[in-house]
Amino acid sequence: MQLKHARPDTEEQSTSNGLEKRYADVRNRSEDLCKLLKKEDYIPQPAEFASPPKWHLAHTTWFFEEMILKRFSEQYEEYDPKYNYLFNSYYEHAGDRVARGHRGTITRPTVDEVLGYRTHVDRSMFRLIKSATPDSELHKLIILGLNHEQQHQELLLTDLKYAFGLNPTFPVYSDETNLVADCNKVSGFVKIESGIYEIGHDGDGFCYDNELRRHKVYLEKFEISTGLVTNGEFIKFIDSGGYRDFRLWLDEGWSWVQEEKVTAPQYWHNLDGNWHYYTLAGLKPIETDAILAHISFFEAYAFASWKGMRLPTEFEWEAASGQLDWGKRWEWTYSAYLPYPGFKTAEGAVGEYNGKFMINQMVLRGASTATSPGHSRHTYRNFFHPQCRWQFTGIRLVK
């Protein structure tokens, strides 16, 4: 299916404003990720946490319409009043919405209608961007909207992989999109001395509010691995009975293993005594030297315990990040997702973006092979519940 790309009204406009070009690039990438899909792929939602591709395309568009156009553009005409209910995610300020687990039931509007919605919003956004002066609230909200869409680009891939991974035919999204075949380029440990370190975002570049305020922490000396745990290392954990040894697990983790009957990382299949895993390039034999992916915090903790080591705190990770090879997996830390000292929740719907989720979740640092270009930094704080593993998650060890 041919998708219509976002673009400024004229080539001259696209070169006159860097924000216009960035807007077009980000919006185009979301649709580019869907070029290889069949229309049937846009709809299924196999789990509450995994949204359909069509919903991601619509929700990211809703963000620009609801948060920006309705507020800053007097000339803007709402595309369809029903879309606020259909494509709001969790913003109480924006009103009622479809339950998260029912997003896959939204067969109408159609995929083509959602693409028409994107075109409608893009036209108005390109007109509005011309008035977005640097440091203005409008400019900042547009940048936030673009970063929000980049987050959903990664979610689109991980959610699609989850849906495809449940399909017994193991569909191929793209032969060039394996995303889990990469290997470590470095090995060993680096020593980090005890002392006071500054943590949190500093500078003029974009960051989310949960990366503020910059503050000092004291760290005892530690050693942290420069590379990440590989598939081959984790297979040894499995073969040693790691999933059957309660002594390695936190109590909730052990309950999760038993209740869910977990015996391997997500997408792993033991076929005739040989390990395979589902990738977006199809079912593949596991490459033992490749970096492990798709494990929960519980599994990361148990593996670290089995190795006689531990996971880093997010503060240790950030302090050491300049000496690490990172960016291939979201790395579990042993830090609860909590506000930094001086954190303030913004007014309005934007204030619902991060702060209200600071409960019962663990911090992940770094980025992954599915993260959008330009959407990673060493202060980035990702967060998920400890049992989650459909993201491209991995393990870094500390001793």
pLDDT digits (tens, 9 = 90+) for 65-74: 999 999 999 9
User: Is 157 buried (19+), middle (13-18) or exposed (0-12) by CB count in 10 A?
Assistant: buried
- Domain membership of residue 183 (yes or no) is no
* Whether residue 208 sits in one domain with residue 149: no
271-327 pLDDT tens trace: 999 999 999 999 999 999 999 999 999 999 999 999 999 999 999 999 999 999 999
Q: Are strands 282-285 and 274-279 parallel, antiparallel or unpaired?
A: antiparallel
Report yes or no on whether pTM surpasses 0.75.
yes
The residue with tokens 């080539």 is 11
In this predicted structure, what is the pLDDT of residue 6? 56
- Sign of the Cα pseudo-torsion (131, 137, 140, 142, in order): negative
* Whether residue 195 sits in one domain with residue 145: no
* Whether residue 288 sits in one domain with residue 201: yes
The Cα 397–Cα 184 span in angstroms is 14
Nearest partner of 238 among 260, 279, 283, 269, judged by Cα: 269
- Domain membership of residue 137 (yes or no) is yes
- What mean pLDDT comes out for the span 226-232? 98
- The CATH number of the domain holding residue 31 is 1.20.120
3-state secondary structure of 76: coil
83-102 pLDDT tens trace: 999 999 999 999 999 999 99
* Whether residue 139 sits in one domain with residue 44: yes
Is 254 within 8 Å of 262 (Cβ atoms)? no
The residue with tokens 């967060």 is 383
Q: Name residue 279's amino acid.
A: T
| Domain's final residue, options 132, 165, 198 | 165
- Domain membership of residue 197 (yes or no) is yes
For 13, 150, 283, the CA distances from 21, given in Å and listed in that order, are 9, 15, 37
| Res 347 pLDDT > 90 | no
3-state secondary structure of 231: helix
Angle at 102 between CA 261 and CA 394, to 5 degrees: 45
User: Is 282 buried (19+), middle (13-18) or exposed (0-12) by CB count in 10 A?
Assistant: middle
Task: Work out how many domains the chain is built from and give that number.
Answer: 2
- The CATH number of the domain holding residue 388 is 3.90.1580.10
